[in-house]
Homo-oligomer: A and B are copies of this chain.
Amino acid sequence: MVSERSLAVLRVIVQDYVASREPVGSKTIVERHSFGVSAATIRNDMAQLEEEELIAAPHTSSGRVPTDKGYRVFVDQLTDLRPLSSGQRQAIETFLGQAADLDDVLARTVRLLSQLTNQVALAQYPSFGSSRVRHVELVALAPARLMTVLITDTGRVDQRLLDGEHGLDDAGLGELRTVFNAELGGLALADAAEHLHGIAASVAPARSVIADEIARSLGEQVAANRQDRLVMAGAANLARTESDFSGSIFPVLEAIEEQVTLLKLFGEMEIDEDGVSVSIGRENEGFGLGETSVLASDYTASGGSVARLGVLGPTRMDYSNNMVAVRAVARYLTRLLGED
């Protein structure tokens, strides 16, 4: 059992350590914070915290450093997140407000978020599992090259090339376009994938082969859209905080280049009602990110599909500030994308 004051001590240890990057000792604590007790008392509390494995001493006789578990308790204790400064709030509005399309919005979002937090910022494209087919377009780029374009109601456009003689004139193309749009228009992507198989049967026999080809291509596009993408910015920030990693930052950089890994990590995090979820240190071990923490929040894109954004950085980070930033950006993004 840890006393109330011990938790306060943990709090200042985390804060001071994050700020100074140096193990913090009992004497420093009484000097910098008015606890109204002596250093010896703080030492007793620290012994208690160490017993609970919330802090640890790098060496016999150095100050204490929070453990992963300590950060976890600290974060869970964090209740009232201060709102952003009005300047920061304004920065979000002006920076994101002038975005043109979805790609641009997300690109700006991660840049903004990485600047607000000084960490690596990540944003997941809205999931298309729940979005619907708005339109299918077929374009003959050449006699032997056909392009299929899939447009969803979440504002995403995806194109794919189909090589090989298609033998279609404008009329043929028109028929196929009409058929595919009639069959698929308005369907959720998940349903569209199933409907695709039967379509070739409903066109003129001469075109059933190419229709099959097109159906296959669209099937791939649907699949690709359900498998989410990620944008990232601020990887350089990892180099700035390099000393926070035991070895090189190479494995970390390597891990964050692997989008699949990050998406999985993002996906496994559970967002609580407060809006920001935190995964700390060894909790991310399985992803090769055992020395980093990840903050994530959900945002809602038009069409109601939910996606995630967040930041990633060394375990020793300013959780409070970063949680505020992530939450604020997620909320603003929801507002920006939802207004239709």
Contact = CB atoms under 8 A, between A and B. Distances in A.
A52 B139 CA distance: 60
A340 B239 contact: no
A230 to B, nearest CB: 12
A134 B145 CA distance: 13
Contacts of A257: 233-236
A160 B235 contact: no
A157 B138 CA distance: 12
Nearest to A159: B157
| Most chain B C-beta atoms within 10 Å of own C-beta, residue among A141, A163, A248, A340 | A141
Q: Say how many copies of this protein the assembly contains.
A: 2
Interface residues of A, number: 38
Contacts of A250: 236, 239-240, 242
Interface in A227-255: 233-236, 238-240, 242, 248-250, 253-254
Interface in A24-72: none
Contacts of A234: 257
A292 to B, nearest CB: 14
A182 interface: no
Interface in A114-155: 134-135, 137, 139, 141-142, 144-145, 147, 149, 151, 153, 155
Interface of A: 100-102, 134-135, 137, 139, 141-142, 144-145, 147, 149, 151, 153, 155, 157, 159-161, 163, 220, 224, 233-236, 238-240, 242, 248-250, 253-254, 257, 340
11 contacts: A102-B161, A141-B155, A141-B340, A142-B340, A147-B151, A149-B149, A149-B157, A235-B235, A235-B257, A240-B250, A242-B250
